[in-house]
């Protein structure tokens, strides 16, 4: 049924003369009533022009010029959406225009779907909105939503997050969702903010901020933001005094948007942005703006490190890991307090590359939540912290030692050594030996061998290192198997480092 409008238009576009409703129903394998409904909906999308022209006694034909313009280039007819794409589009329209209600025809008419599909979509949308504490409201044939502004924007941010952008230079992939002028204005505004403050807003905060600006402009332009006033708590006033420069930039930000859309913005927008900037990890470019860390931030950062390494002291922690983690923990605590969420679009890769570190940090995070009475630390936050621990462990862990073995110890194994060094320069290749004296050689090495790479089967026992059998040409399959073996060894080294 979802492809019926497309098939109907294709049939009419290829027909040499008029086709009757009976002809069309037989070709589409649907009732004549369905044909009438499809024709009506298609023409509603191109009104005041008529895509499908009817003539009494003859039947139907397509206006081919209009068909080429609107259908082939897919400018106006949205009939190629997947079910998920259709639901996301509908959600965005409801959220952007809330609390305004929208007719079912306006929301779903462009998709040419049946009443049962609309019903199922509404059930899905209602369930999805409930997870953000937003209610779906139905009034006769109109639909709207009811929720707090903060929850509405959080939902919109998550919907736009489907693009998985990690670099503002790739922002063009989301441009179709926003007015191109709004996109350009938002990027320029972020540049000005960075220049004014003297620091860079890095991923993921720059992506979230960009999306926030575009969403804010859309909501303001549709007159959908209500000024509820701002309640100044003593804590907010204190934060403003301590971070006056950031608050001034937040006000400048709101003033710039006000001029751009030529409409007033609620005063609370400046406070919202101020809190957001404080919740972002900031890369300072000059010393006068160096961050100050409270005792709580320092204690929680130290506790992360202590629990991760099971209270065993580690070398060089202060010089690398502690500083990086400190700069993440400070804004993270502010995010937890203000219920700000950040998306980590590298999370799947991080979990796959550093599974043991990620799982250990999840366990540590749960303990810290309990000890310091914190809100739940998301997997996205754990993923960011995983990178800091992985960097530290890789930097200060010993290189993996490799022994290469073949039948003679020369020729093929030397060639294999060159290939491995080129593809895996991080490995320490201790020696190249013949298969006949592997055990003897292993006894004489002063350093421990972590992995033996061999082109021949060799006898192994409990005292031998792990052996990876490869072909002498060391093809792509061999390379992938070696990567898997190294990943396994690195995870083992990570666990043993924490146990020392």
List, for residues 224-251, the tens digit of each pLDDT value. 665 555 555 677 777 788 788 888 888 8
Residue 379, judged by CB atoms within 10 A of its CB (0-12, 13-18, 19+), counts as middle
Query: Quick one: 282 and 168 in the same domain?
Result: yes
Question: Does 283 share its domain with 165?
Answer: yes
Q: In what order do the strands lie in the sheet with 401-406?
A: 428-434, 401-406, 451-454, 466-469
Domain count for the chain, please give it: 5
Q: Is the pLDDT of residue 136 over 90?
A: yes
Cβ neighbours of residue 211 closer than 8 Å, sequence gap 6 or more: 156, 157, 160, 161, 174
Strand pairing class (428-434; 282-284): unpaired
18 and 36 together in one domain: yes
Q: Which domain holds residue 218?
A: 156-288
Asked whether residue 166 falls in the same domain as residue 266, the answer is yes
The predicted model scores a pTM of: 0.55
Per-residue model confidence as pLDDT tens digits over 65-112: 777 665 544 444 554 556 777 888 888 888 888 888 888 888 887 676
Band (318; pLDDT cuts 50, 70, 90): low
Residue 155: name the closest of 175, 170, 139, 135 by CA. Answer: 135
Q: Is 353 exposed, middle or buried (0-12, 13-18, 19+ CB in 10 A)?
A: middle
Residue 78 lies in a domain: no
Q: Are residues 362 and 417 in the same domain?
A: no
Q: Quick: pLDDT tens for 431-468.
A: 888 777 777 777 777 677 888 888 888 766 666 788 88
Whether 345 maps to a domain, the answer reads yes
pLDDT reported for residue 288: 43
Question: Which of 365, 396, 427 corresponds to the end of one domain?
Answer: 396
The DSSP result for 204-255, as a single string, is THHHHHHHHHHHHHHHHHTT----------HHHHHHHHHTHHHHHHHHHHHH
Residue 132: strand, helix, or coil: coil
Token output for 59: 């039947």
Is the predicted pLDDT of residue 287 greater than 50, yes or no? no
Residue range 312-340: mean pLDDT, rounded: 82
Residues 388 and 452 placed together within one structural domain of the fold: no
Average pLDDT, stretch 384-410?
A: 79
185 and 266 together in one domain: yes
If one counts every other C-beta atom within 10 angstroms of the C-beta of residue 442, the result is: 18
pLDDT tens, position by position, 186-237: 888 888 888 887 777 777 778 778 888 888 888 888 776 655 555 556 777 7
- Read off the tokens for 344: 């980590």
Question: Residues near 337 by Cβ (< 8 Å), separated by ≥ 6?
Answer: 375
Average pLDDT estimate for 385-395: 85
CATH code at position 28: 1.10.10.10
CA dist 398 and 419 (Å) reads 22
Q: What CATH number has the domain bearing residue 242?
A: 1.10.1790.10
Q: Name residue 405's beta-bridge partners.
A: 433, 454
Q: How confident is the model at residue 6 (pLDDT cuts 50, 70, 90)?
A: confident
Q: How far, in Å, CA of 104 to CA of 137, rounded?
A: 12
**CATH code of the domain containing 450:** 3.40.50
């Amino acid at each position: 049924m979802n492809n019926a409008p497309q098939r109907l238009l294709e049939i009419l576009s290829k027909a040499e003369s008029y086709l009757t409703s009976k002809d069309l129903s037989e070709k589409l394998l649907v009732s004549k009533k369905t044909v009438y409904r499809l024709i009506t909906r298609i023409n509603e999308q191109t009104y005041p022009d008529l895509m499908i022209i009817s003539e009494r006694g003859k039947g139907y034909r397509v206006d081919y010029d209009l068909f080429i313009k609107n259908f082939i280039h897919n400018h106006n007819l949205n009939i190629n959406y997947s079910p998920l794409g259709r639901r996301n589009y509908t959600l965005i329209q409801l959220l952007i225009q809330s609390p305004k209600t929208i007719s079912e025809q306006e929301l779903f008419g462009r998709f040419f779907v049946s009443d049962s599909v609309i019903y199922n979509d509404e059930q899905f949308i209602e369930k999805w909105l409930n997870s953000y504490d937003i209610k779906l409201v139905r009034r006769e044939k109109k639909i709207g939503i009811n929720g707090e502004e903060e929850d509405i924007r959080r939902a919109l941010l998550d919907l736009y997050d489907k693009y998985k952008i990690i670099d503002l230079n790739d922002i063009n992939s989301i441009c179709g969702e926003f007015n191109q002028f709004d996109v350009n204005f938002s990027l320029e505004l972020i540049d000005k903010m960075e220049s004014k403050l003297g620091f860079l807003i890095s991923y993921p905060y720059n992506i979230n901020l960009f999306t926030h600006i575009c969403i804010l402009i859309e909501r303001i332009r549709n007159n959908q933001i209500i000024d509820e006033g701002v309640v100044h708590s003593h804590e907010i006033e204190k934060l403003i005094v301590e971070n006056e420069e950031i608050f001034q930039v937040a006000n400048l930000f709101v003033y710039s948007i006000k001029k751009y859309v030529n409409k007033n913005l609620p005063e609370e927008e400046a406070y919202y942005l101020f809190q957001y900037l404080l919740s972002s990890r900031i890369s300072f470019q000059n010393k006068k703006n160096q961050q100050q860390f409270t005792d709580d931030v320092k204690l929680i950062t130290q506790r992360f490190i202590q629990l991760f390494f099971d209270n065993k002291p580690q070398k060089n922690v202060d010089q690398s890991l502690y500083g990086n983690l400190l700069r993440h923990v400070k804004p993270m605590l502010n995010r937890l307090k203000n219920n700000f969420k950040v998306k980590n679009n590298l999370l799947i890769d991080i979990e796959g590359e550093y599974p043991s570190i990620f799982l250990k940090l999840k366990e540590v995070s749960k303990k810290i939540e309990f000890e310091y009475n914190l809100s739940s630390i998301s997997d996205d936050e754990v993923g960011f912290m995983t990178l800091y621990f992985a960097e530290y462990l890789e930097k200060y862990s010993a290189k993996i030692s490799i022994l290469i073995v073949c039948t003679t110890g020369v020729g093929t194994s030397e060639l294999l050594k060159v290939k491995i060094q080129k593809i895996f320069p991080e490995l320490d290749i201790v020696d190249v030996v013949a298969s006949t004296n592997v055990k003897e050689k292993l006894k004489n090495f002063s350093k421990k061998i972590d992995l033996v790479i061999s082109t021949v089967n060799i006898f192994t026992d409990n005292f031998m290192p792990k052996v990876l059998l490869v072909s002498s040409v060391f093809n792509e399959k061999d390379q992938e198997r070696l990567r898997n073996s190294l990943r396994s060894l690195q995870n083992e080294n990570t666990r043993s480092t924490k146990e020392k």
